[in-house]
Structure 1
Amino acid sequence: MKSINQSHIFFFILTAALLGCAKGNIAQTQTVADDLKENEGFISIFNGKNLDGWEGDPNLWRVENGLIVGELTPKSDLKTNSFLIWKGGEPGDFELKVEFKITENGNSGVNYRSERVDGIPNALRGYQADIDGKNTYTGQNYEERKRTTLAYRGQKTKINAQNPPGEIRDYIDRNAWKGLELTEELGDRDALKSLIHTEKWNEMHLVIKGNVLKHYVNGVLMSEVVDEDEINKSLKGLLGFQVHVGPPMRVELKNIYLKEL
């Protein structure tokens, strides 16, 4: 057996190290490429400087340190839920990503496929991805001023029509639509809650296509609605962020990206 001198040993070690670095760089490149592919087609709908392209009550909404801030103070006299409404269109099938942070007593949400309410400034009526500071409801599907709860967190539901004549409120029981049919459990509600950070940054990701409405928080599916209610469902409409009537609160938003499908 031939002996291996120190120079050979050094060469082998150096070669192994370089190969290791190369493999690491390849892996890193693949990860970046995957991220770019995942975000392909998204456009920013907030410029980080001001509320150009948005409409809302300036007493409630502002831009601060590159963030959209919705705030109720002890002096606020809010009588009805108020929205910051995107003026860029009425998306039908789309994905929306937004990072949010909300105070413990806060109540907010992302409205979509919504319509304005006659006679009430900055009010919307339609689907909402719920957000609240205690994370009691965050991720659920709640239809503002219409059918109320369509899916609680941890639920996949099918929404059936209630065809008899009457007002929508006649078909609501304990703040949930009577036509709500549970088709699948997506996970334990409290276990899913544990994945949502309190008073820290979270990401809401909506995937809305046809009559299937999916709400993800931090990459986890929190609720899914299949809306088969031909009378009440909506296939396009306005986007907006909510400040809910209640105690003083603050919600912050950043990195708002939209991809129309």
Structure 2
Amino acid sequence: MMIRILKTVIIITLYACQVQAQTPNTLSTDEKADGWQLLFNGKSFSGLKQIASGGWEIKNGELLATVIPHGKQMDIITATQFSNFELIFEFKLSENTNSGVKYLVVNNLPNQKGNYLGLEYQLLDDLNYRYAERGNLRSLASLYDLIPADDGKQTRPLGEWNIAKIRVQGDHITHWLNGDQVVTYDRNKKDFKDLIMKSKYKDMLNFGQQEKGHILFQNEGTPIAFRNIKIKVL
């Protein structure tokens, strides 16, 4: 455990030093050469599409979910669809934040046309927000409603930046939080399909099996901030 904590501290410290030396929402020369691209430039919604009118603002280089006056979810997606990729983003939680980043998102599932659905990296204030059902299956960094993040995950305090990574390579998918891999699964395996049948997605034909899709940032009415959103196609 001590080795894991030290490893995480070193990774976060090194990343923090890099961030301090590099302007947020930019790519270094090495990142560009390695194939990384920005999904958010810190100044505009270029490359992003708001599913509903409103719900988001850009301030001080951050993509911010705003208050929802009517109670309906107001999400934002990438204009481009992706298949195999590595996605890295920073997020900042506030008290009672309940949000998420969905990937391989489509809106044409049978009997679900028009609904933007995909696998979800859960973003949650685990300390103050409590789901009445499904418990840690909906905790921070989990595969929402399906696979809980590993125990002992390293979370930064509210108001500080966390670093998330999602890697999709065919059917093999991993979630990372602050340098540690916290979820791993193969969506083509029987055990994963069994989890689907026990979840809220059980009646959604072909859920989670899409070869490519959008990336979606949720606004469910609670505060969440994003920055340094970048992707590398694998």
- Class of the TM-score when normalised by the shorter of the 2 chains: 0.5 to 0.7
1:222 maps to 2:215: no
Which of these residues, 152, 158, 161, is aligned with residue 201 of structure 1?
161
Q: State how far apart, in whole Å, the 1-side matches of 2:211 and 2:45 are.
A: 26
Q: How does 1:14-93 map to 2 (within 5 A)?
A: 36=30, 40-56=34-50, 57-72=52-67, 76-79=69-72, 81-87=73-79, 89-93=80-84
Q: Deviations over 1:184-235 (max 9, x none)?
A: xxxxx2x21xx11132100111111111110001110111121114944222
Q: State how far apart, in whole Å, the 2-side matches of 1:102 and 1:39 are.
A: 31
Larger Rg belongs to? 1
Any idea what SS the aligned residue of 2:218 has? strand
Q: State how far apart, in whole Å, the 1-side matches of 2:67 and 2:31 are.
A: 38
Q: State how far apart, in whole Å, the 1-side matches of 2:206 and 2:224 are.
A: 33
**1:124 positional shift:** 1.8
Q: How many residues align?
A: 175
Any idea what SS the aligned residue of 1:82 has? coil
Corresponding position of 2:98: 107
The percentage of aligned residue pairs carrying the same residue is 23
1:116 maps to 2:134: no
Corresponding position of 2:4: none
- Aligned CA distance change for structure 1 residues 61 and 39 (closer, same or farther; 3 Å): farther
TM-score by length of 2: 0.68
Corresponding position of 1:138: 140
Q: Partner letter of residue 149 of structure 2?
A: R
- Aligned CA distance change for structure 1 residues 45 and 231 (closer, same or farther; 3 Å): closer
- Aligned CA distance change for structure 1 residues 94 and 119 (closer, same or farther; 3 Å): closer
- Aligned CA distance change for structure 1 residues 153 and 237 (closer, same or farther; 3 Å): same
**1:59 positional shift:** 2.8
- Aligned CA distance change for structure 1 residues 49 and 38 (closer, same or farther; 3 Å): closer
- Give the alignment's Cα RMSD to 1 decimal: 2.5
Provide structure 1 residue ranges, at least 5 long, that are not aligned to the other structure: 1-34, 143-148, 155-188
- Aligned CA distance change for structure 1 residues 212 and 250 (closer, same or farther; 3 Å): same
Structure with a larger share of its residues in strand? 1
Q: State how far apart, in whole Å, the 1-side matches of 2:113 and 2:96 are.
A: 28
Q: Does the Cα contact within 8 Å between 1:150 and 1:225 map onto a contact in 2?
A: no
Which of these residues, 133, 136, 152, is aligned with residue 148 of structure 2?
152
1:259 maps to 2:232: yes
1:94 maps to 2:94: no
**1:37 positional shift:** 7.0
Q: Partner letter of residue 244 of structure 1?
A: E
Provide structure 2 residue ranges, at least 5 long, that are not aligned to the other structure: 1-28, 128-135, 194-204
Q: Does the Cα contact within 8 Å between 1:99 and 1:204 map onto a contact in 2?
A: yes
Structure 1: which 4+ aligned runs deviate by more than 6 Å?
none
Q: Does the Cα contact within 8 Å between 1:83 and 1:124 map onto a contact in 2?
A: no
Q: Partner letter of residue 138 of structure 1?
A: L
Any idea what SS the aligned residue of 2:105 has? strand
